[in-house]
Amino acid sequence: HQKINDTGNAIAFWVRRPNGISLLVSGFPPVEYKGHINFGPMNSFQAVTPSGKEDIYSAGETAEKDVWLAWGPHEKLADYLSLDASGKHVAFAIYDHGKWRVVVDFKPEEPFNYVFPPMLSADGGHYVYTAKKDDKFVVVKDGTPGEPYDEIFNDTLFISDDGKHTFYVAKTNDQYHVVWDGKQVSVHEDMGQSEAFSPNGDRYAYSIAKNDTWHVVLDGKESAGYDGVASFVFSPEGSHFAFRAKKNGKWKYVVDGKEGPVFDNTSNILVFSKNGERFAYGAVNGEKWMAVENHKPGSECDGLFGLLFSEDGKHFAQGEFRGDKLQLVLDGKNKWEQTGEPAMRPVFSPDGLNLFYAIRKNSKIHLVVNGKESTPYDGVGMPVFSPDSQHLVYLARRDKTELIVIDDSEMASDYEAIPSHFDFTKWGQLVFWGIKDGKWVLTVNGEAGEAFDKGYLGSESPVSFSPDGSMTYFVLKDNEVYFVSHNPWLYRGYVKYLTDCKTNG
């Protein structure tokens, strides 16, 4: 079981030893534990020894004699261990002689009756977690417990990427308390189960119920009352906020406090352009749908499949059903038309001048690029544009044969499987992992590298990229895990020898 952080420069995993398990995190020495114990109900736990023997107990007993790694035996380690973007900080929890502790950078914190999985800020400089102390709950930030409450709703706990802001909802004496940056900012009789935060983490929104009406509270200010509210969303740069509102059986979107037109229903999703200046959603009256941009309804159709803006926000596209036809509408004009069912939502190229989507006809998949249909395939993976938007690559399957398709050219894959997505370096070199003869091989611009026992995949990209364009990734060879970093311009000598990698860290 392992976890790689989003930037790909840190890995954590545990391995089974004869007398315990070792937790290994890159940059830190390994630490031994008796076994692992799951995050379960607070008065009944399950401890698992290295032999696989399970010790079911209440309130500890035999397990209180040792120190255990707190983890879910049947869950992903990624759900319980936190790594920051720099790869220099780690947080997890242990069960230590009958008490629960959060461990930050392998330094145990204050013991509690119970703790929930800790959360690190993206920059690694701050952390938060919920803990139980006696019969009360507290949120601990950077080692300091906050005010005690009868209950804290751990799924509402939030920390911004820079660690400056925190949010959670607590309950005491049947009243809900909203806590922002460690301070109680409001008390309510009833609350909804929806919270939203701006991408930079400095704004928040939630819903409350008063006198049989629902209100959205944005940065501490209440909206008008509605019969229902849903679908909270901030724009990418955080300056705009939208939500769905229901009144008298009809639905509308409210954006920055301004109500849009009323419809029988609206889509659950509103999309903003990257700069936040444009937004769009779907709406329906009777049996007819329409795309609504900046609260202006478009022409009616039988259905919608995908609403999106280009990266620069200059172009807007939506797919529409009209009878047995699919139409791609670009900037308000019918651009392309096909027969079939939608199989993949539209996607713009980085420059916003190219667009693809997929359709299904006669049980076959056709990729459509700028209106041109590909040959039929049995299956198609998610395509990827090159950084300059001039090339498109994807994995396809026809008659049990995997094909690598670059633009209109097909190549039969030499690999038994391609476990990763495709990606490009900033210079436009195609990168992906392939498995051949049971070994993992990284391929850059068609040139295969050294074979490894395994490549560890973090995010959807096959590798991670440093600001200078260098590729970084983790591999397993001969029971050794290596961190590899190299510049794709110097690809031919990218590893040299694994002993060099080990010597140089």
* Mean of pLDDT over the chain: 90
**Token pair for residue 326?**
């699919």
Residue 35 contacts residue 47 (beta carbons within 8 Å): yes
Q: Give residue-wise pLDDT tens across range 197-216.
A: 999 999 999 999 998 999 99
Q: Give residue-wise pLDDT tens across range 80-99.
A: 899 998 889 999 999 999 89
- Of 187, 336, 335, 162, whose CA–CA distance to 238 is shortest? 162
Over residues 414-420, mean pLDDT? 91
Higher pLDDT, 262 or 323: 262
Q: Give residue-wise pLDDT tens across range 277-287.
A: 999 999 999 99
Over residues 406-420, mean pLDDT? 91
Residue 463 contacts residue 449 (beta carbons within 8 Å): no
Over residues 179-206, mean pLDDT? 96
Note the pTM of the prediction, 2 decimals. Answer: 0.88
Over residues 488-500, mean pLDDT? 45
Over residues 178-202, mean pLDDT? 95
Is a pLDDT exceeding 70 seen at residue 425? yes
Whole-angstrom distance, CA of residue 190 vs CA of residue 192: 7
pLDDT at residue number 485: 83
Is a pLDDT exceeding 50 seen at residue 499? no
| Residue-by-residue DSSP string for 97-134 | TTEEEEEETTEE---BSEEPPPEE-TTSS-EEEEEEET
Q: How confident is the model at residue 73 (pLDDT cuts 50, 70, 90)?
A: low
DSSP character at residue 113: S
Higher pLDDT, 63 or 82: 82
- Of 216, 197, 210, whose CA–CA distance to 254 is shortest? 216
pLDDT at residue number 505: 42
pLDDT at residue number 487: 74
pLDDT at residue number 462: 85
Which of 73-82, 155-164, 241-250, 366-375 is predicted with the least confidence, judged by mean pLDDT? Answer: 73-82
Q: Give residue-wise pLDDT tens across range 342-375.
A: 999 999 999 999 999 999 999 999 999 999 999 9
Whole-angstrom distance, CA of residue 158 vs CA of residue 317: 34
Percent of the chain with pLDDT over 70: 91
Is a pLDDT exceeding 50 seen at residue 123? yes
The residues near 297 (Cβ < 8 Å, ≥ 6 apart) are: 261, 283, 290, 291
pLDDT at residue number 491: 47
Is a pLDDT exceeding 60 seen at residue 488? yes
Give domain limits for the chain: 1-150, 416-505
Which of 3-7, 114-118, 198-202, 473-477 is predicted with the least confidence, judged by mean pLDDT? Answer: 3-7
Whole-angstrom distance, CA of residue 151 vs CA of residue 174: 10
pLDDT at residue number 460: 64
Q: How confident is the model at residue 496 (pLDDT cuts 50, 70, 90)?
A: very low
Q: Give residue-wise pLDDT tens across range 1-44.
A: 788 888 888 899 888 888 888 999 998 999 999 888 877 666 66
Q: What is Dmax (Cα atoms) for the chain?
A: 71
pLDDT at residue number 492: 42
